[in-house]
Structure 1
């Protein structure tokens, strides 16, 4: 089971500091997960400039030009943020039994471990 999922709030743990133009310490939502490359796309982090070819839509409007989009960042460089303390934390899993429509099921549930000072 993955520790980081789409829609999680994460914080960038490595890289250049924000005062030097980097993204370390920024928090954002996970927009996409690229499982094969072990990378995640985080909202507002790791902006790159992309040049797209000029084209036309059905209505005749021009598309293309220079865009800034979020690029993927390695999954080991981000940590999930604890919703109660707003600090980065590790994620644990516990097995619980749920009763739904009279049927018992065992499910693995993610939970935020206690946020430490070091993270």
Structure 2
């Protein structure tokens, strides 16, 4: 079971500090997960600029220019944010009994462990 999923609120825990132009300490929502590369794309974090060559479409409109978008960041460099304290925390799993259609099932559930100091 994955520790971080799409839609989770995460915080960047490594890299340059924000006052030096980095992203450490920024929080954002996970937009996409790339499991084969162990990377995540976080909203508002790790912006890059890409220069595209100018071209034309069939209708004659110009394409290209400078685009900015979020680049992937390694999953080990982000931590899940505890919804109560709004601080980064570790993720645990526990087994809970769930009754569905009169049957008992064991289901693994994620939960935020107690967040002490900043990670």
Structure-2 residue corresponding to 1:36? 36
Q: CA deviation at 1:60?
A: 4.8
Q: 1:58 to 1:116 in 2, by over 3 A?
A: farther
Q: Given the two structures, how large is their TM-score scaled by the length of structure 2?
A: 0.92
Q: Distance in 1 between matches of 2:58 and 2:108?
A: 48
5+ residue gaps, structure 2 = none
Q: Given the two structures, how large is their TM-score scaled by the length of structure 1?
A: 0.92
Task: Count matched residues.
Answer: 119
Matches within 5 A, 1:78-93: 78-93=78-93
Q: CA deviation at 1:63?
A: 2.9
Q: CA deviation at 1:104?
A: 1.6
Q: 1:34 to 1:99 in 2, by over 3 A?
A: same
Q: Distance in 2 between matches of 1:98 and 1:59?
A: 57
Structure-1 residue corresponding to 2:23? 23
Q: CA deviation at 1:61?
A: 3.6
Structure-2 residue corresponding to 1:50? 50
5+ residue gaps, structure 1 = none
Q: Distance in 2 between matches of 1:35 and 1:62?
A: 35
Q: Distance in 2 between matches of 1:68 and 1:42?
A: 14
Q: Distance in 1 between matches of 2:79 and 2:96?
A: 24
Q: Distance in 2 between matches of 1:108 and 1:117?
A: 27
1:71-92: CA deviations, max 9, x gaps?
Answer: 0011100000000110000000
Structure-2 residue corresponding to 1:64? 64
